[in-house]
Structure 1
Amino acid sequence: MSEEWSFEKDDFLTTTPYEALYAYHKEPFTHAAKMEELAAYSVSKGFKGFKTMYKKYVESLKAQSGTIYIDNVTNFTNQPLELNAGDWEADDSGIFKKNGYNDEVACPHPIMPVERLVNIDTGEEKLQLAFRKGTIWRKIIVSKTVLASSNKVTELAGSGIAVTSQNARAFIQYISDMENMNYYLIPEKKSIGRFGYIPDEGFSPFVDGLIFDGDVNFKAMFQTVRSRGSETKWLETAAEVREMSTTAKIILAASFASVLLEPLNCLPFFVHLWGVDSGTGKTVALMVAASVWGDPAVGAYVKTFDGTVVGMEKTAAFLNNLPFCLDELQLAKDSKGRTTFDVYKLAQGVGRTRGNRSGGVDLTPTWRNCILTTGESPLTGTASGAGAVNRVIDIECKSAQAVIKDGMRISGAVKRNYGFAGRKFVERLYQPGVIDQVSERYRELFRILSDRDTTEKQAMAAAAIILADELACQWIFSGQQPLTIEQVSEFLASKAAVSAGDRGYKYLCDWVTQNSNKLCGRSENPNIEVLGALEDGRAYIIRSVFERILQDAGYSTAAMISYLKQENLIETRGRANTRGKRINGIPTECFCLRLPAVDLDDEEDPNDLPL
């Protein structure tokens, strides 16, 4: 290089070296190579800013003739890409261009688009911008709708980009020009804003080169799904946990089962561990289940019930096929101790359809996964609908039989070692031909479970759990015994327990017992409220009272009456649902409830009495 160039420091303040370089302007590659050589040579001679001076030289030639052209490239120190800047001057002092006698400033510091991202689910395009303030380059992913609006683009100021209402228009124009002039130079990559199966791509986040472009609030959670520590240590801990209790086996299997729901076309379901006793290992069991996929610390992958309905919907949609782990149901109770959490909101697998400011509707969130939860009370109550009870496997945890023993040691182990089994499980699951074999075994398990005293939805959930444990024992826990149908069936709700009608009828019968003194037909005492009558194994309940009882308990009046008529548990008059009865001497419309015959355990059998 020194043989070709023989300039001294002072020569760079004349036009001589720039004329020498401009002689190559018709040969783009040679011109670019010579520019780099001269720039390095000028530095060796103690002169900095060669490229900037060369741009000024070319501008002067343009001003003289108007017919000389040369690409104007970005000139940022340590820039990720070199892009054609067009009419913009883009160097370490910022980005600007001549606008008459003034400079139009787009940004006072280096910034440029470095990647174009196309979301696989929505098709939305975003740009990854690289910017530098100081010595470190930082990156941010921004929606193109933001980069197209002078009102929205100022939001980037919160991320450290110097864009204000004053330079917003110039900033937008600069980014747009850079993308359009360098469309084929800026790499295009696929992106995703969720976990789970992606058609023709694989399973997020286990797809190489796939970039997360979702809600920034989920970025931290996205990063929790990773591996850390020793796979051998995790396997030893998980194998030990599986031997501690059937419940521990079930919740660990449910974590694997979550990724089976999509290929098996199953509905989401809950596995809920509950118990009033502390120290049974419910939370630790949940952490072990979460450690299959990532960091199991509460607040990392594991969340609590202390959240809004919208927040939980978005989190479920973000997890998509990975298990949703929620701890401490009691955080979702109101001041009266009533649970405000609605099982249906997550069990349906579809969020609310919401409108947006533009007059359209947002993309409806969907998910298909297992929801693993813990709490001090059951997830469903006596007044819960059949659909809610159907979708929950409630498992009571008692201090006499802890789910996990030595919880401090186990939780510490899985916090240090996690994230290996999930990826391995998914990779085996999506190998050619495996899904077909898995589906056949699932149908077999579902058929066997459906023949028992449980509902189809309970059988569906149980079949997925048993199948997942069988696969985990083949692929992960070599040599261990999988869950059996008998072990899981113990925790499934019977058809009668699921039926809201059956539970409502029992509730009404209990109410009759509690208020039998008020079902006296007639009372001379004005202090006694008369609500109906009791005669010959039947309870006559005043219509308005009957409806209020059901509403206060959370049952649908119309649905309950339909069930009672169908099961012949109320006596009616023709097409009416009530019968006439004199209450306090006044003809009154009442619901006539047939009371069940009950075997009494506190009375002696007359046949056993001594003669």
Structure 2
Amino acid sequence: MSATAQTTPDTDVFSAFEAKAQAATMENYTALLEELAAYTINDVFDPVQRTLLIVALGNNKTLGVGKRAAGNALAAVEKAAKRATQGEPDGIKGGRGVYSLRDNGVWYSKPTTNGYSEPVCISPHLQVIAETYDTTDGNNGRFIEFKDTRGRLKTWAMPAIFAAGDGVEITKYLRGNGLNFVYGNDKEIIDYLLSSPVTDLMTCSDRTGWVDDVFITPKTNYGENAERYTYQPTSVIDNKIGQAGTLADWQANVARYAQGNPLTMLALSSAFTGALLKQSGMMGFGLHLWSSSSDGKSTTMKTACSVWGSEFWQQWLSTSVGIEGSAYAHNDLFLALDEIGEATAQTVSATAYALANGEGKRRGGRDGNAKITKKWRVVFLSTGEKSLDALMKEAGMVTRAGQEVRMINVRSDAWKHGAFNDLHGMGNGSVFAEMLEANTKKYYGTAGDAWLYAITQPGGIPDDISQAIDAIRETMLPEDASGQVRRVARQFALIAYAGELATKHGITGWKAGEATAAAKECFDSWVDDFGGADGKREHRQVIEAVESFLFSQISRFQGTNLSEGSVYNIKDRVGFVRNRPEEDGAFLVPTAQLVKLAEGYSKEQIIAALRTVDMINAPDKDGKNAINISLRAEDKDLNEPEFGISHPSI
């Protein structure tokens, strides 16, 4: 009799099989179990009849196996029969089993020696949507979606590199973001994600900013086909983009108070500027707002930060540790650094170059080959009680011209009320600053969102951006401006252009021309503080250094009216001083000692600077710089000084 599935058990079949069980012998016992298993698997016998037949086998004295042994034997035969007919379950074949995505989550069948186990649910909804790849083929991954413990659908661009080793970074992220998968199935979750077949592709980037014509941020992408792009960082990021209030709220409670306040308007305009560096073809740069008093510079910085988020700034001290990560996470955006005094002069010096140049340190890998160097474009805003020049001098370092055009010192106390000109009817600068800072905590981020949406639309950034920036610069430049001044003027012009473009797109609420006027006023202030537009800034720095040395280190110069045996009595001698009435007063310095007068500058730089103010002897008719002097001592073996340096104090 063949076993076929039936809805109602056949009593005649059952009676016949019960008789078989009672009369069975060891010779036909195995065959009888296989026949019985076929009936039970196909529901010919219900559970009650199955139990009665096991009892019949157990009571069979000829078999002598007992009811428990008969039941166990039947269960084993039933299991083997199921496996034999089961085959491989449908689903995603992975290295650890077979997975299927159902309405209620991910189900997993474990491989066994005789097939696969019954499927069990190992996770709520978790699905691979697309494969991600970057434009340099160096950061592939998978774009996945999942549901957290509150049933919210979330997405994550998972770097494939996270699967290296034990893949713990993947499960840590998923658990941390609310995916409550079954404990002990970490490896199965990773296997499922890596084994899931995908045909869709998305472009990814591990830094913010422009990729093709799309602008990527940690929160939102902007531009045509933005949904085909994703932000995929390979490390934890500290980018505090966020929103509160509406754009109208921000305009009414933050941006309007920049009107009449050039420094505030400049800072706000600078917050929009980073996104234009690529199109303008310009390198990054920064503004450093400084003064020794509490004048509102930090409030000004926080006002600029409100374009992008709440507490969008970082401390100089914390950023000095991970400057590359900070710049990378703010690429094409805006980076704000507070309290420069917390960082060392060495850190600030290196940071100014790194941020502006847009490239991190070159490092070697374990195989000896160079790792990929991180690159970025960023406009940054810094604050502190000291200028870059003062900070460097305190550390015995020299501020290079290149640093001062990359990190531009702007005095923040040059206005009527410290950093402010117009208090908009409020009693004093402190009350105004407190109000403005409080408003930045309530209304933020909407301007940056509107800005990125506007500039990623067709025509959002005009094609003539470079020419427009040059035109603004020409309105700012004084006559006979040096190369350094012209470069800084173009940076101020770019900031002005960003403010004007944001105004044109209806973001700031300002009037046309206000951002340019504010930038020019701040630039003029910078030129005055810089020492003029003639390009002799470095000469003045050399002269100041030489004068300071002559006044403070007079004991290291030996008089030329020597007494016998006194020639070598001067410790750390730099040169000689000649001030007898019958001779012109002068410091006489050998070539080898000249660079000590202005540490950090070359001999040629020192000579060139001092000659602009006739502080050093001119070369003779043969082009030689030597000055012959007569030392009044018996020891005539001294090297004769080459340079005579005059000073009004002599």
Question: Is the structural similarity TM-score above 0.5?
Answer: yes
Distance in 2 between residues matched to 1:195 and 1:133, nearest whole Å:
26
- 1:273 is displaced (CA, Å) by 0.9
- Letter aligned with residue 153 of structure 1: G
Of stretches 534-543 and 302-311 in structure 1, the one that deviates more from structure 2 is 534-543
Partner residue of 2:560 out of 505, 518, 521: 521
- Structure 2, unmatched stretches of 5+, are 9-38, 45-76, 421-428
2 CA distance for matches of 1:423 and 1:465? 18
Q: Taking structure 1 as reference, are residues 343 and 118 closer, same or farther at Cα in structure 2, changes over 3 Å only?
A: same
Range moving further from structure 2, 580-589 or 499-508? 580-589
Quick one: percent identity of the two aligned structures? 17
Any conservation in 2 of the 1:119–1:193 contact (CA below 8 Å)? no
Once the two structures are superposed, what CA deviation does each residue of 1:312-352 show, in whole Å capped at 9, x if it has no partner?
A: 12211221111110000011037xx9966642122212221
Partner of 2:297: 282
Question: 1:172 Cα deviation (Å)?
Answer: 6.4
For 1:277 and 1:96, locate their aligned partners in 2 and report how far apart those are by CA, in whole Å.
69
> Which position in structure 2 is the counterpart of 1:603?
none
Are the structure 2 counterparts of residues 369 and 593 from structure 1 closer, same or farther at C-alpha, using a change threshold of 3 Å? farther
Aligned partners of 1:256 and 1:469 also within 8 Å? yes
In structure 1, the partner of 2:129 is 115
On the 8 A contact 1:90/1:96 being kept in 2, the answer is yes
Question: How far 1:458 moved relative to its partner?
Answer: 1.0
Cα deviations across residues 62-99 of structure 1 (Å, max 9, x unaligned)? 625xxx866523xxxxxxxxx56698244889746325
Give the corresponding residue for 1:438.
465
Is it true that 1:590 corresponds to 2:599 in the alignment?
no
8 A contact 2:629–2:640 mirrored in 1: yes
Q: In the alignment, what sits opposite 2:526? A: 491
In structure 1, what is the Cα distance between the partners aligned to 2:98 and 2:158? 23
C-alpha contact (below 8 Å) 2:242/2:309 kept by paired residues: yes
In 1, distance between residues paired with 2:316 and 2:471? 35
- Once the two structures are TM-superposed, the CA of residue 378 in structure 1 deviates from its matched residue by 0.4
What is the letter of the counterpart of residue 466 of structure 1? A
Higher mean C-alpha displacement, 464-473 vs 269-278: 464-473
- Answer whether contact 1:249 1:483 (CA < 8 A) is retained: no
Q: CA separation in 2, counterparts of 1:133 and 1:440?
A: 51
Please say if 1:100 is aligned against 2:148.
Answer: no
Cα distance in 1, alignment partners of residues 629 and 354 from structure 2: 43
Q: Could you list the runs of 5+ residues in structure 1 that have no partner in the other structure? A: 19-55, 74-82, 601-611
Please give the secondary structure, in 1, of the residue aligned with 2:111. Answer: strand
The CA RMSD over aligned residues, in Å, is 4.5
- Residue in structure 2 matched with residue 355 of structure 1 by the alignment: 364
* C-alpha contact 2:216 2:231 (8 A) present in aligned 1: no
- 1:268 shift after superposition: 1.4
> Is 1:72 matched up with 2:128?
no
SS at match of 2:373: coil
SS in 2 for 1:191: strand
C-alpha distance in 2, partners of 1:397/1:490? 10
**Aligned mates of 1:435, 1:59 — CA distance in 2:** 74
Task: Give the match for residue 532 of structure 1.
Answer: 576
Aligned with 2:159 (options 140, 143, 147):
143
Is residue 256–residue 422 contact of structure 1 (8 Å, CA) maintained in 2?
yes
Residue 15 of structure 2 aligns with which residue? none
Indicate conservation of the 8 Å contact 1:195/1:320, yes or no.
Answer: yes
For the 8 Å contact 1:581–1:588, the answer to whether it is kept is no
Count of aligned residue pairs for this structure pair:
520
Within-5 A mapping of 1:384-403: 384-398=399-413, 401-403=417-419
Alignment match of 2:232 (pick from 198, 213, 219): 213
| Residues 1:410 and 2:436 are matched in the alignment | yes
The superposition leaves residues 283-332 of structure 1 with CA deviations (integer Å, 9 ceiling, x where unpaired) of: 1111110111222x1xxx21010135461122112211111100000110
Residues 273 and 359 (structure 1), Cα distance of their counterparts in 2 relative to 1, 3 Å cut: same
2:309·2:444 contact (CA, 8 Å) conserved in 1? yes
Task: Give 1:464's aligned amino acid.
Answer: L
SS of 2:638 mapped into structure 1: strand
Which piece of structure 1 moves more, 385-394 or 370-379? 385-394
Secondary structure at the aligned position of 2:254 is classed as: helix
For 2:449, the equivalent position in structure 1 comes to: 423
Shift of 1:421: 1.9
State the 1:566 CA deviation.
8.6
* 1:579 Cα deviation from its structure 2 partner: 5.3
CA contact (8 A) 2:99 2:192 kept: no
| Closer, same or farther: CA 448–119 of 1 in aligned 2, 3 Å | farther
Change (3 A) 1:509 1:595: farther
Q: Is 1:505 equivalent to 2:518 in the alignment?
A: no
Q: Which has the larger radius of gyration?
A: 2
Change (3 A) 1:413 1:486: closer
Structure 2 CA distance for partners of 1:174 and 1:231, relative to 1, 3 Å: closer
Give the C-alpha shift of residue 444 in structure 1.
Answer: 1.3
Contact 1:271/1:393 (<8 A) preserved: yes
Q: What SS does the corresponding residue of 2:388 show, helix, strand or coil?
A: coil
Distance across 2 between alignment mates of 1:6 and 1:200: 66
CA-to-aligned-CA distance 1:563-599 (integer Å, 9 cap, x gap): 459968565586877656566754325351544779x
